[in-house]
Structure 1
Amino acid sequence: RLATRRIDSPPSDDDGMRRLRRDTSASSFLGRVRTPPTASALSTASACRGQRHSAAREIETEASLAVERDCKRLFFRLTSAAMLLRVRTKDGTERLTMDPDAQLSGLRSQIATSFQVPVQQQQLHLSEQVGPVMKKGRLLSPNENATDLRQLGIISGSMLFLDYEMERQNTAVNEAYKKDPFISLVKEGELRRQGTNQWTLTNFLDYRSTKEFKLEAPPEPHCKFVQVDPAASQSFINFMILCGFQSKRLGILYGKWVEDDEGNSGVQVHAIFEPKQDSTSEEIALLEDEETESRLHALALMLGLTRVGVMIAHPARQYAFSVNEVLLAAKMHGEAVKADPEKGKRFVTMKARPVLQDEKDIEGVATMEAYQVGAHNLFVCLASLSSRLTSVESVDRLAPIVSSLLRGLRRMH
């Protein structure tokens, strides 16, 4: 009806304006819609799509060829290089290198040579991947000895399981622990003398516990004070000053066991005897002189004196006593206790030394100090040495008791 009206009736101005607005609106809307393609445009688009599909197929083909080449290269590398196999036994996991072209018989022979497991005892299994764990798989029978390893699925990195009844040691463990100091202790050192060559960690810890000492605060010394004759000490210290404390020196203290007015036990030193010795800056070496020793003993009895201590002089250093000095002092202390079990406990160990530069509170160039070996440490030393040391000698083998002895030296003020 509207179309008829537009044709038959001359349009009014209002109708013209409405058509203009409607045509303008339609033109604006159609401008945002894609124009239908023509036949030539469709032909061109079809050709472009064909070219894109062709290019995609070529890229896909090249990628497939590259992957295939990489796989062939990897397979050639795995099959041409020497195979490294892992063999799990009851003694651990070990590694074995094989020729990639070898047969199962060659693998068994290599196991017999490398692991010292006879072929007759070998029960060789393939491995199966069960989840994240590799488990024992099919048993390889002797009928397959002529089969190539690759045909059995054995390639480089494969895991095999080997069972046997004999007792043996893991070759990988032997190589890893060849230089283990614990092994040398078992074969050549002190552990070998205990009567066994097979040590476990538990046995070793139990044995080591017998060599441990519980270090506690040392008890109060039996000797509460030391009185030294000034002339005797001055003569000894002057000799050390003259030689510049360049060498060690040992003196034996002779005196009496005394008590003060308060009943405290102490020692009086009346003389210092210096035995024959060939000492250096590092060692004290006493020389045997039985004649002088017997005359000294007789003279001490006449004077009513006894051996009450030992004096050790040494060059400047930061530590108090060396290992040999401690052992020598403990040995002499033990001899005093044997001679007089009660008063011998007061035996003292004195030292003469130069004053260090950082010791501002000590006047002079030399000083003397008094120490005493603790009773429990003395017994340890006597049990260990049992009078084996007739002079100072190298005692590095007795190092386990040194820390205890050093701890037992109580300085007397």
Structure 2
Amino acid sequence: MDTRNTMRRKLRSVQVCKRAAVQKGNMKRDVGKVLRAIPVGNNEDTEVPMEARDDPMEQDCFSTGFFKNEDLENAMIMAPRYSLLREVGRGSYGVVYEAVARKTGARVAVKKLRCDAPENVELALSEFWALASLEKKHENVVQLEECVLQRNGLAQKMSHGNKRSKQYLRLVETSLKGERVLGCPEEPCYLWFVMEFCEGGDLNEYILSRRPDPRTNRSFMRQLSRAVAFLHQNNIVHRDLKPDNILISQRSGKPVIKVADFGLSKVCARLGAEPDGAGGGDHGDRAASRANRNVVNVNKFWLSSACGSDFYMAPEVWEGHYTAKADIFALGIIIWAMSERITFIDGESKRELLGSYVRRGAEIVPVGEAMLENPKMVLSIPARPRSCMSEGLRRLLLDMLAVNPQDRPDATQLQTRMDQITCAA
């Protein structure tokens, strides 16, 4: 309990996934090394300045193109396709840049992950496997354009379950064995994720920088419910739903939700099926693997690694025995906070964040932790006396935040109910 009290006093949002918890100290870098903005009027002739790069190898991968090499199977000779513009985000195990596709001029997001430790490889592969396993696109899930594996200044495009790539298999082996098998430390390995760029920032920034708008809230609630339903129908449990990981795209002229950051996600496979990402082979093998995954009920697939950020974690996640219903709980916290603009100040970043909580004197406690300590606790929804929350939304939030996961709606039921509530408003 001393540890939890310290956590509450600092008001931290902590990543507590098994191996992921130690990564922040390992991956801190010089924050002063920020990419300078470069002109994009003539992208064919533009290169990122060397002094602005995190690593000189970026020139080989995203400025001077990909080169053929015997050690990198399927490596390609091609003109550089992306120009890095500026750094837009820095996390505990990677850096995100805004970039431009030289051929089309389209803006993209490029996430660079250094695979120098097993825990970083595990998180990178989890994100790749989750996004690459989706056979269909969804408007409210961030789209992966391609993933590039870079080593020794040379690069190859990653494909899901590619047994012919020695580098890919070494990454999988590193993740499974928990030890580095990629070679000498002086030979760094990176994964680059090229994804759609979301110019609207994250949900915190978007909501809190604008006046309250019930119509936008209703639209976001529908979109979030549809995104989670899509992920669960495709056997993906996100495990770290929070406003930081929900991005906003405005390319269509209206704000569109994009669920992102799948580093802690889990692709649920039926017992006896091939491990996630380790499969491959011919088309028949991949089809059989997909068929195996399709019979999974994610609401009965038990997970044990305590993953997430404390203010959004369900009671059962704190105990380390949970299913996809934990995503429903996290979404309930987000929607409740968004509806009533409930916020707290993060102790580390000093940012104002959307998040619901329980007050205990001068302290605030994550809802899931409070419920774990007192399963009979009744939540006060709405929290504000003059709230205009509808009775339908109030009942739905109480169901989503039920202490017993079996009392919560599954993602499909949630989508149906949310559509009914928001359309009736």
TM-score range, shorter chain: under 0.3
TM-score by length of 2: 0.20
Would you tell me which structure has more strand in proportion to its own residues? 1
Would you tell me which structure has more helix in proportion to its own residues? 1
TM-score by length of 1: 0.20
| Higher-Rg member (1/2) | 1
